Amino acid sequence: MSLLTEINTHEWNSSYSTDVSKKAIDAIERGRILYCPELAFQLLPDENEFLSPAFAEPKAKNISFNRNTQLLRCAKCTIEKYDRLKTMLQRFSEQAEELVHRLFPPYVSALQLGRTSFRPVEVAGRISSYRKDDTRLHVDAFPATPNQGRRILRVFANINPEGQARHWRVGEPFSEVAARFLPQVSKQWVGSASLLKWLRLTKSKRTAYDHVMLQIHDGMKADLSYQQTAAQQSIYFAPGSSWIVQTDQVSHAAMSGQHVLEQTFYLPVSAMINPALSPLKMLEKLTGRILT
């Protein structure tokens, strides 16, 4: 059965009926992917030159933009091109925000803006440690930036100019991931969260939830047998399409593709229509304790 729920729109600022919004919210909270096959992010003529891995620093897989601070990281270019690249990512970020505000009205007041990224490097064949290997099935959790239970909602757009799709593998539901890997999670050391923050190894306090999610993330990627045998399906996101997914819940792996834009948002579980479907609440039910 396909995990995609299609949203028919050509514009980032389209209006949606109450029924469409309810359908979209229910789908994404249940771990489905919202796919907009005809929603393309349009580059300006002078932005096409950025479709080259040469604009990313050699060891970086992404170029990162923080709209709140206007800081662009891991870009390799002149000052003039730096400003134009930043303008492109700013425009994508604003259009992605417009899309999620219009599609998910109940989330608007609580939604928090995260970073924007541009991924001009081919995924396939990139060498990295297993923890950073995005071709392995995983749910998102970040060592340095604890999200403390918030949902990770992401908007992607494939801007590949050569007809190359973005190939994902999508794995089993989070409830099954948690049941499989939670027994392997070790206890969090008393005081470790404060120590990590004091040493500036994390930007905020690592909650018990973050500790569990990181170990599930690492456990999934380390288990090669699981990578091969877990229930999964391939999905190909065509150039000129966009998709929305909560990557803390949906087990995914990016297998191939080049030139993708992504905007991250964070959503408190309390803002969900059905908080029981969140990874936080599922893990709290399984562990029998509060994790944030």
- Distance, in Å, from the CA atom of 58 to the CA atom of 64, rounded to the nearest integer, reads 14
Residue 140, in any domain of the structure: yes
| Residue 81 neighbours by CB under 8 Å, 6+ apart | 49, 50, 55
Cα–Cα distance between 138 and 207 in angstroms, integer?
20
Q: For residue 88, what pLDDT is reported?
A: 98
For the chain, strand residue ranges (E) read: 4-6, 33-36, 63-66, 71-73, 112-119, 151-158, 166-170, 233-237, 242-246, 252-256, 260-267
Q: Does 241 map to a domain?
A: yes
CB-CB contact of 171 with 228 (8 Å): no
**How far is the C-alpha of 33 from the C-alpha of 235, rounded, in Å?**
10
Output the pLDDT for position 36: 98
Q: What is the pLDDT of residue 1?
A: 67
pLDDT for the residue numbered 58: 86
Residue 116 lies in a domain: yes
Any domain includes 194: yes
Q: Is residue 31 part of a domain?
A: yes
Q: What is the mean pLDDT of each run of 10 residues along the chain (292 residues)?
A: 91 97 98 98 96 91 94 93 96 98 98 97 89 95 94 98 97 97 93 91 94 97 97 97 98 98 98 98 97 96
User: What is the pLDDT, as a whole number, of residue 128?
Assistant: 84
The domain in which residue 53 lies consists of 4-287
* Structure confidence at residue 126 (pLDDT): 84
Rounded Cα distance between 130 and 218, Å, is: 8
Residue 63 lies inside a defined structural domain of this protein? yes
CATH number of the structural domain spanning residue 196: 2.60.120
pLDDT for the residue numbered 217: 98
Number of domains in the chain: 1
Asked, for residue 232, whether it belongs to a domain, the answer is: yes
- Is 292 inside any structural domain? no
